Chain A
Amino acid sequence: MYVFILAGLRFFRWVNWIVAALLTLFFVVLLTDAGGLGTSVLAGVEGDLAVRAQVRGYLLGVTGLVLPMALAIDRILTRLAGLVHDARTGTALSEANADRLRTIGWCLLAINLADLVYGWLSVRASAATGEYFGWSLSLTGWVAVPLLFVLAHVFREGAAMRDDLEGTV
């Protein structure tokens, strides 16, 4: 089972970077075409200069979010792979895994913050153009962040207990 999970995580790492590259390419094409077809699609053919400027701001913002998001997702996937690997070898309760969980927590926090930034950009762009740019607040991620930090603490405590037990004769 662990082999399939590890293979899946490797696959998702590739998918993450491919999607990030495609999204960046897509937004860069739209940006270089600013004022042309791309922004017309988003701002509406009748969109005036102010609206187009708003759409350009939205595109710039979203483009800037893609790479940090992809990096955060990649870090989550690599740490998750490390956790799964250790779970397979029966050494899950370790300081290294506590660090991994904490890193995942920070990355998820970064993703949640980036999502808020995206939401703000979307709301602004939606208000300016009258088009719905699609965003809704998700609480799941926000609940997961403190959960991961607590879990990291539990793993650290568990690692210390395991260490003590191993030194007991």
Chain B
Amino acid sequence: MTDQTSFIAVRLDELLRERGMTLTELSDRIGLTLANLSILKTGKAKAIRFSTLEAICRELRCQPGDLLIYSETGGIDQ
């Protein structure tokens, strides 16, 4: 596959820091593997399931818009 630049940035790191939660802890709470959460955190994910988004928002008490932002300057290479 060719490399694609995504303009969607994932703010999982910031949200975790604000909530004082670790990635491992979130992984345990939402039942997603640490590897998959790392993929999401580093912006390497190509898509996110509604169920994953729902679980993250529930545990971090945030809105989808807090987690995902559109940023043309902060593009992430996939």
Contacts and interface: CB of A to CB of B under 8 A. Distances in A.
Interface string B29-53: 0001000110110001111110010
A126 to B, nearest CB: 53
Nearest to B32: A169
Interface residues of A, number: 7
Contacts of B36: 169
A169 B1 contact: no
Interface in B1-29: 1
Interface of A: 95, 160, 163-164, 167-169
Interface residues of B, number: 14
A163 B4 CA distance: 13
B10 to A, nearest CB: 10
A152 to B, nearest CB: 17
Contact of A167 (B32, B37, B45, B52): B45
A168 B40 CA distance: 9
